[in-house]
Amino acid sequence: MATHTHFRTCSLCEAMCGLAIEVDGERILSIRGDDEDVFSQGHICPKAVALKDLHEDPDRLRRPLRRRGSDWEEIGWDAALDLAAERLLEVQRAHGRHAVAVYQGNPTVHNYGAILYGQILLRALRTRGRFSATSVDQLPHMLASLLMFGHQLLLPVPDIDRTSFLLVLGANPLVSNGSLLTAPGIERRLRALRARGGRLVVVDPRRTETAAMADTHLAIRPGTDALFLLALLEVVFEAGLARPGRLQPMLSGLDEVEAAAREFPPERVAAATGLRAEEIRTLAHAFAKAPSAVAYGRVGVSTQELGGVCQWLIYVLNIVTGNLDRAGGTMFTRPAVDLVALGDRIGQRGHFGKGRSRVRGLPEFGGEWPAAALAEEMETAGPDQIRAFVSLAGNPVLSTPNGARLERALPGLDFMVSIDPYLNETSRHAHLVLPPVSPLERDHYDLVFHLLAVRNTVRYSPPLFAPPTDGREDWQILHGLARRIGTRRGRQTFASSMTTRAVGRLGPRGILALLLRTGPHGRGLRPWGRGLTLKALERAPHGIDLGPLTPALPGALRTADRRIALAPPVLMADLQRVRARLITTGKGSALSLIGRRELRSNNSWMHNSARLTRGRDPCTLLMHPGDASARGLADGDRVDVRSRVGQVEATLRVSEDMRPGVVSLPHGWGHHRPGTRLRVAALRPGASLNDLTDEAEVDALCGTAVLSGVPVEVRRSGGPAPVLA
């Protein structure tokens, strides 16, 4: 068979890079960047080759597995789905609907079929036991958007291609390729910012790869970003630099925010943040006076004790300096599939605090409980105790706080089913594993990341390979399970039954076609005329450019009074914890642990790619030379890292890039657990950051896990250093 080139969007991270995949029959010959992609223009990162590795991985499961004692046996799809439905309903009949819980992992958002049909399964189960990666990631962004703009998905995006000043807090876009900021080739974009005379400032406890190319790096103390942001606002107000411009008539609560900020001048927060007052003042003036500017914060800011307040204050800083909804500031997208409008139509703009979790009383957000509560809800007896568990595209043993506690809780469940292509650290505890086909055996459309992109574009990717006859896509697994649950439960409404049947016949591709037609760029339901359709998109393998971001306010606002709520009461009340932070910061001798991300790593399953894990050990503990010397440690030593909840062992790397008093360990590792089938990952297991993070420590406002600023002690290990290939 002759070779040919297939064009598609990479589904491994948020950047949406276009790929050109050369194949010969069923064999992948090469993967390179698509030079004609309207968005990425040829850029890819090293992770792109993992699509080949994942597709060809002999460890990837191809058929359902049922546990038989300590072993596994393959079974057919009908038998597997029947078993799953029967056992889940059995638990619900015995212990109530909410005794079944569902966890949706991060890879779900890279799979539009899983996004759409995951909701169908949740509706069939009728359970309140819903968890996801949201509460270990971007929940504070969504909370601020809900409270300020009236919709949890009205997420403003930094217009980095036109800005004059980019302030980055707790993010490392050179490695992440952007996060809640879809911007392929971001290094090129940041260099263009500086080439046109703009400034890049990074605020982070570590001199990250992005900080290394910045004009200014401020090594802040972990967990004090809220104090820093309030000090910036104090200077902006005190110096008369608050100029919201055309936003002014849309604002409510400006006076309240100004009064709150006046409590936090730079001189008052300097000691707590570890930054000089003059540094903060100079930055505030430069940001406010720039022709255009944008403040952007991500995981390092979100996953801390005051993450909700931090993201609110970032929005406020952009607004009061007039940098929301204008070119070069932070703007709203106009994607081909408008999830904000879709949420309006189905009554799901978002909600917060409608209920509290059973054990600890943590707040719900968007119908989900914080992932930090998952293990305790399994362990604690009583009504609605979790007795059965569905894990979809997730590995919470490695990705949620105190994963070791969850690891102990899972074997006690009455039933567990994992929808996952691997026997990993979480799915190894399941009674049944349902593996979907590889990403190259299904079509692809980025429902979520077009919503977060720095330019409005659209692209659809058909399957590269036909799925095997005995394979199932994620949506087929989810729909098949939902249909069986509905049929066996009985007493289904006619509307519910018809909806399940209809979405099964449509499939995700049919739903996507409708969403594109009814979106802001679509043709509508007319059979002819101008406008976007799925067929038109299929004729554009490199995508379609829909233009730059444009102003959207006040029309985009979903608040009741159609104004931006600058001072939501729950956030204003939470400033009391910020005041307390001034008093408690810096007390104690423990080191502060932060995470980090590696360019060749995203989710834990990427560690089963030999080419992505070769070379120098990526799972090392970084420590400042002064801290190492004080503890009698040297570069290359094996060290024990201990927190309140656990201990791990790692190789020490002494680095001037670290702020004194702070250490860093990457996330996603810890592949030493028995019972997995990850042969490559097991050769370089590393240590799990989340064996050290504490499930008891959450942002009290919204329940987001505290993964940054964890108190730890470090000492020399008694074990020998491993020999690495």
Task: Spell out the domains of the chain, with CATH numbers in brackets.
Answer: 3-56 (3.30.200.210), 76-130+377-542 (3.40.50.740), 139-335+554-575 (3.40.228.10), 587-716 (2.40.40.20)
- In whole angstroms, how large is the CA radius of gyration of the chain? 25
What's the pLDDT at 724?
Answer: 33
Q: Is the peptide bond before 554 cis (omega within 30 degrees of 0)?
A: yes
What's the pLDDT at 722?
Answer: 42
Residue of 596, 644, 623 whose CA lies nearest to 303: 596
Do the Cβ atoms of 272 and 224 come closer than 8 Å?
A: yes
Do the Cβ atoms of 168 and 202 come closer than 8 Å?
A: yes
- The beta-strand segments (E) located in 46-181 are 65-68, 71-74, 100-104, 129-132, 157-158, 165-169
CA–CA gap between residue 33 and residue 27 (Å, rounded) = 18
Residue with tokens 């491993």: 722
Do the Cβ atoms of 105 and 403 come closer than 8 Å?
A: no
What's the pLDDT at 85?
Answer: 98
What's the pLDDT at 725?
Answer: 30
Q: Which helix (H) or strand (E) holds 513?
A: helix 494-517
What's the pLDDT at 721?
Answer: 45
What's the pLDDT at 526?
Answer: 80
Residue ranges in the chain modelled with pLDDT below 50: 720-725
CA–CA gap between residue 712 and residue 448 (Å, rounded) = 36
Residue of 41, 11, 7, 34 whose CA lies nearest to 189: 41
**pLDDT (tens digit, 9 = 90+) per residue, 293-348?**
999 999 999 999 999 999 999 999 999 999 999 999 999 999 999 999 998 888 88
- Amino acid letter for position 81: L
